[in-house]
Structure 1
Amino acid sequence: MTDRRATDPLLTVDSIDTHYGESHVLFDLSLTVGRGDIVALVGRNGAGKTTTLRSIMGLTPVTNGTIRKDGDELHRLEPHEIRKRGISWIPEERRVFGSLTVEENLRLAAHSGEDDQTERFDEIYAQFPRLDERRDQKAGTMSGGEQQMLAIARALLGPETDLLLLDEPSEGLAPQIVDDVADIIRELNERDVTVLLVEQNAEMALELADRAYVLETGEIVHESTADQLLADREMMEGYLGVK
């Protein structure tokens, strides 16, 4: 696939360091997400993948380096300000409100936007017909795959999203449901949503992605097209444990 980052970068993470208290977690980390791309960030458990997303979102502030979207600095902003700049984050384990219905979960997200979301609601239900069927069902009673759909749909409401940060969307899902979630990610990307995907299921992530970074103990150790990484069995086994 065409590498667009040189001509049209949407997100630029430049030499960031991140700490949890006294613990140094990310070391001089740099990555670029081109507009319209799906970029996979893969690595073993504890490599720092989730911390990278949290740093971009302002939830774990960086101690050095810069983060920019469309050239504008993000690393000094609060998370709600970053959200207003078109970045949505779907955390690991989905974190929907289990005691609320599907409709109520979506209404809460819609209220974070400044404009009338009625038309967008109709679009969301058309895009996720399974959620339309379950509008009045408590989110906590739905399957893991349905909750993941709800988490994605919720992230698309409120301020307009053009960059989606996805953390382990396939976690705990049956293989067929993983395929369904992958199809949703492809469809979103075709609708001009750029995606930065953190995923323990490296093969699934690389089959979706245009480009890939491998993270090892807080440092980027490899960057290539997703196809090149997928074909490099030595790299896949050595850094990702995929045989």
Structure 2
Amino acid sequence: MVAVSKSEPEPKRRADEDGDTLLSVDSIDTHYGESHILFDLSLSIDRGDIVALVGRNGAGKTTTLRSIMGLTPVTNGEITKGGEQIHRREPHEIRNRGISWIPEERRVFTGLTVEENLRLAAHSGDGAQADRFEEIYRRFPRLDERRGQDAGTLSGGEQQMLAIARALLGPETDLLLLDEPSEGLAPQIVDDVAAIIRELNEEGVTILLVEQNAEMALELADYAYVLETGAIVHESPAAELATDREAMESYLGVK
């Protein structure tokens, strides 16, 4: 495979080619005040896939997720989920349409217990949520062991598990946006988090994975986009990019 240059991008993967696109980001621009951050950015995510969005620090990866969630509104272009336009909706409306975002650095409520963090996410203390809580604790036995422990005293890996668990509560999630889930974690814990991501996907959750750890992201993903200074400069099946050493070094600094 030949690395794709900025001037000669690969043909984009379109909904009519695949037939089951869950999320489509079409030619968006995003600004922070007067600063232009994303430039004519397009990507699509097929239902059931893991899609990796990789790039160097400052490339605009988190801004892409914030744009999808309506936290940093786009100034041009459109975003649709299941064919419904969502880019003009409020963040809570987008969440209610099945998109959940786990931000960088987890952002758990450190002064609350594990159980309290989860109950806040579910907006319920008992009743219909009881079975879902038990399902979460079965999936994350470490959280079960620490139900009454303050989240701020958990390890980084445990906080990441709590952040993922919170995202699975509340409105049903069929698209999960993950921002740097391996950041600051020991290698063994990174493997544990990767296994959780893979398991969620096997159970039907579609995932957009933003990762500085490109090798981990590409191992998990079906398809990959490379972002550089706010623009997509390369896209391909993830396995192709992972074995293209020229592209990996040029775009991501991986030798």
The answer on 1:210 being equivalent to 2:222 is: yes
User: How far off is 1:4 after superposition?
Assistant: 9.9
Give the RMSD, CA atoms, in angstroms. Answer: 1.4
Specify which of 34, 57, 60 is matched with residue 45 of structure 1.
57
SS state at 1:130 partner: helix
CA distance in structure 2 between the partners assigned to 1:7 and 1:38 by the alignment: 16
Out of 194, 209, 220, which is 2:206 matched to?
A: 194
How big is each residue's C-alpha offset from its partner over 1:63-111, in whole Å with a ceiling of 9 and x where there is no partner? Answer: 0000000000110100000000000000000000011000000000000
Unmatched 5+ stretches in structure 1: none
Alignment of 1:99-178 (within 5 A): 99-111=111-123, 116-178=128-190
What does residue 54 of structure 1 align with? 66
**What is the aligned partner in structure 2 of residue 13 from structure 1?**
25
Point out where structure 2 has 5 or more consecutive residues left out of the alignment: 1-12
Tell me the distance in 1 between the aligned counterparts of 2:37 and 2:201.
Answer: 30
TM-score, normalised to structure 2's length?
0.92
2-structure distance, mates of 1:193, 1:121: 18
- 1:242 and 2:254 are equivalent in the alignment: yes
| Structure 1 equivalent of residue 109 of structure 2 | 97
Give the share of equivalent positions with the same residue, in percent.
82
Q: Report the CA distance between 1:116 and its aligned residue.
A: 2.6
SS where residue 30 of structure 1 aligns? Answer: strand
Structure 1 moving runs of 4+ over 2 Å: none
Q: Is the 8 A contact 1:4 1:34 kept in 2?
A: no
Instruction: State whether residues 101 and 178 of structure 2, in contact with CA within 8 Å, keep that contact through their aligned partners in structure 1.
Output: yes
Which residue of 91, 95, 99 corresponds with 1:87? 99
SS at the partner of 1:116?
Answer: helix
Number of matched residues?
Answer: 240
Distance in 2 between the 1:80 and 1:116 partners?
A: 21
Amino acid at match of 1:196: L
1:112–1:159 CA contact under 8 A, matched in 2: no
